[in-house]
């Protein structure tokens, strides 16, 4: 069940974020990207956007950013939409991306926010990407900002 996004007052705390977004299923991903970017900028942070061809290509770019970004990133958001088809291909892509992203965040100790959605159909994509009350891009940005705060509190 989709829950309405609560627009929390985010204190301006800065930070540097990256968004890695798939070009595949662009109409859905672009809507999440716009929402995520707006939420991060609203919090007074900076954001770099990197576009990749599809969801499968997201992890290698995330790994490179986690390893080499200067200054170090506060968090990396991953945005993509995978729609199931008649074969198991989508499931394999989703599992590979999920597994890689969790390993990257653990290895590099950079929060990696996973919003590469594996969906059954375009109706689910519309509900999660176009609806302002449930936009997964907004939720991803809020999670990234929260995790940046958690990680900052653990430094020292």
Looking at residue 8, its pLDDT comes to: 55
Indicate the pTM of the whole model.
0.90
> Can 114 be counted among the known catalytic residues?
no
Percent of the chain with pLDDT over 90: 81
Counting Cα atoms < 13 Å in the Cβ hemisphere of 126 gives 3
Give the tens place of pLDDT for each residue, 23-53. Answer: 999 999 999 999 999 999 999 999 999 999 9
- pLDDT, the chain, mean: 91
CA gap 69, 139 in Å, rounded: 24
Give the tens place of pLDDT for each residue, 10-27. Answer: 544 689 999 999 999 999
Lowest-confidence range among 2-6, 28-32, 134-138?
Answer: 2-6
Q: State both tokens at 155.
A: 């430094």
CA nearest to 102, candidates 113, 92, 91: 113
**Residues 89, 108, 114, 134: which is the catalytic one?**
89
């Amino acid at each position: 069940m989709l829950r309405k996004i609560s627009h929390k007052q985010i204190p301006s705390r800065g930070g540097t974020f990256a968004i890695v977004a798939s070009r595949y299923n662009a109409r859905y991903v672009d809507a999440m990207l716009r929402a995520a970017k707006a939420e991060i900028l609203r919090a007074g942070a900076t954001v770099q956007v990197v576009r990749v061809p599809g969801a499968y290509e997201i992890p290698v770019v995330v790994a490179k950013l986690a390893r080499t970004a200067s200054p170090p990133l506060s968090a990396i958001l991953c945005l993509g939409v995978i729609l199931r088809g008649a074969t198991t291909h989508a499931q394999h892509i989703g599992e590979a991306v999920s597994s890689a992203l969790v390993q990257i965040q653990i290895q590099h100790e950079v929060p990696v926010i996973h919003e590469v959605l594996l969906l059954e159909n375009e109706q689910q994509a519309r509900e999660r990407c176009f609806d302002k009350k449930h936009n997964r891009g907004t939720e991803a940005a809020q999670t990234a900002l929260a995790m940046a705060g958690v990680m900052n509190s653990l430094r020292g």
